[in-house]
Amino acid sequence: MIAMTIEEIVGKLNDFAWGPWMLLLLVGTGLYLTCRVGFLQFRKFGYAMKNTIGRIFQKTDAGEGEITPFQAVSTALAATVGTGNIAGVTGAIAVGGPGAVFWMWVSAIFGMVTKYAEVVLAVRYRERNAQGDWVGGPMYYIRNGLGRKWNWLACVFCMLGALAAFGIGNMTQVNTIAASINTAIDAFGGNTAAATVILFGQTVPVSSLVIGAVVSVIVMLVLFGGIKRIGAVAEKMVPVMAAIYILASLLVVVCNFGSLGKIFVMIFKGAFSAEAALGGAFGITLMTTIQKGVGRGVFSNEAGLGSAPMAHAATSERDPVKQGMYGIFEVFMDTIVICTLTSLTVLCGVESGVPIVWGQSAGTELVSAAFATILGGKLGSLIVAVGITLFALSTILSWSLYGTRCFEFLTGGRGVKVYQIIFVCIVLIGATLKLDLVWNIADTLNGFMAIPNLIALLGLSGVVVKLTREHFKK
Residues 278-307 have pLDDT tens digits of 776 677 888 888 888 888 888 788 889 998
Q: Quickly state the pLDDT bin for 21 (edges 50, 70, 90).
A: confident
Q: How far is CA 310 from CA 298, 366, 428, 471, in A?
A: 17, 34, 25, 22
| pLDDT at residue 133 greater than cutoff 70 | yes
Rounded CA-CA distance 409/2 in Å is 34
Residue 193 is given by DSSP the state T
| pLDDT at residue 79 greater than cutoff 70 | no
Residues 6+ apart with CB under 8 A from 314: 65, 66, 67, 72, 75, 133, 134, 135, 136, 227, 231
Rounded CA-CA distance 422/429 in Å is 11
Q: Quickly state the pLDDT bin for 57 (edges 50, 70, 90).
A: low
Name which of 180-184, 235-239, 424-428 the model is least confident about: 235-239
Q: How far is CA 394 from CA 58, 230, 232, 314, in A?
A: 23, 9, 12, 17
Rounded CA-CA distance 72/77 in Å is 9
| pLDDT at residue 2 greater than cutoff 60 | no
Task: Please indicate whether residue 51 or residue 469 has the higher confidence score (pLDDT).
Answer: 469
Domain total of the chain: 1
| pLDDT at residue 196 greater than cutoff 80 | no
3-class SS of residue 308: coil
Mean pLDDT of 5-31: 83
Residue 344 sits in a domain whose CATH number is: 1.20.1740
pLDDT recorded at residue 184: 77
Q: Which helix (H) or strand (E) holds 342?
A: helix 340-351
Whether 432 and 208 have beta carbons less than 8 Å apart is answered as: yes
Mean pLDDT of 150-158: 96
| pLDDT at residue 65 greater than cutoff 60 | no
Q: Quickly state the pLDDT bin for 1 (edges 50, 70, 90).
A: very low
Residue 143: name the closest of 471, 469, 412, 403 by CA. Answer: 412
Whether 188 and 376 have beta carbons less than 8 Å apart is answered as: no
Mean pLDDT of 408-418: 92
Percent of the chain with pLDDT over 70: 92
pLDDT recorded at residue 436: 67
Question: What φ, ψ does residue 60 adopt, rounded to 5°?
Answer: -130, 135
Residues 6+ apart with CB under 8 A from 400: 165, 169, 170, 219, 222, 223, 230, 420, 423
3-class SS of residue 181: helix
pLDDT recorded at residue 462: 96
Kindly report the three-state secondary structure assignment for every residue of 46-61.
HHHHHCCHHHCCCCCC
Mean pLDDT of 102-108: 94
Long-range contacts, 338-341 (Cβ 8 Å, 24+): 338/81, 338/85, 338/242, 338/245, 338/246, 339/85, 339/89, 339/104, 339/108, 339/296, 339/297, 339/300, 340/101, 340/105, 341/245, 341/246, 341/249, 341/250, 341/253
Q: Quickly state the pLDDT bin for 368 (edges 50, 70, 90).
A: confident
Name which of 188-197, 267-276, 410-419 the model is least confident about: 188-197
Domain that holds residue 431: 2-58+67-473
Structure-derived torsion over alpha carbons of residues 74, 80, 82, 83, reported in degrees to the nearest 10 = 180
Name which of 26-35, 229-238, 412-421 the model is least confident about: 229-238
Rounded CA-CA distance 134/371 in Å is 42
**Average confidence score pLDDT of the chain:** 85
| pLDDT at residue 92 greater than cutoff 80 | yes
Task: Please indicate whether residue 263 or residue 431 has the higher confidence score (pLDDT).
Answer: 263
Mean pLDDT of 195-208: 75
Whether 134 and 65 have beta carbons less than 8 Å apart is answered as: yes
pLDDT recorded at residue 61: 60
Task: Please indicate whether residue 248 or residue 463 has the higher confidence score (pLDDT).
Answer: 463
Task: Please indicate whether residue 178 or residue 227 has the higher confidence score (pLDDT).
Answer: 178
pLDDT recorded at residue 106: 93
Mean pLDDT of 163-186: 83
Q: Quickly state the pLDDT bin for 152 (edges 50, 70, 90).
A: very high
Rounded CA-CA distance 37/48 in Å is 14
Residue 229: name the closest of 18, 417, 14, 67 by CA. Answer: 67
Whether 183 and 176 have beta carbons less than 8 Å apart is answered as: no
Residue 170: name the closest of 426, 401, 364 by CA. Answer: 426
Highest mean pLDDT among 232-246, 290-304, 398-412: 398-412
Rounded CA-CA distance 184/202 in Å is 22
pLDDT recorded at residue 365: 78
Residue 426: name the closest of 216, 217, 222 by CA. Answer: 216
| pLDDT at residue 4 greater than cutoff 60 | no
Rounded CA-CA distance 86/91 in Å is 9
Whether 29 and 304 have beta carbons less than 8 Å apart is answered as: yes
Mean pLDDT of 416-420: 93
Residue 160: name the closest of 459, 444, 454 by CA. Answer: 444
Name which of 56-70, 210-224, 386-400, 441-455 the model is least confident about: 56-70
| pLDDT at residue 202 greater than cutoff 80 | no
Q: Quickly state the pLDDT bin for 455 (edges 50, 70, 90).
A: very high
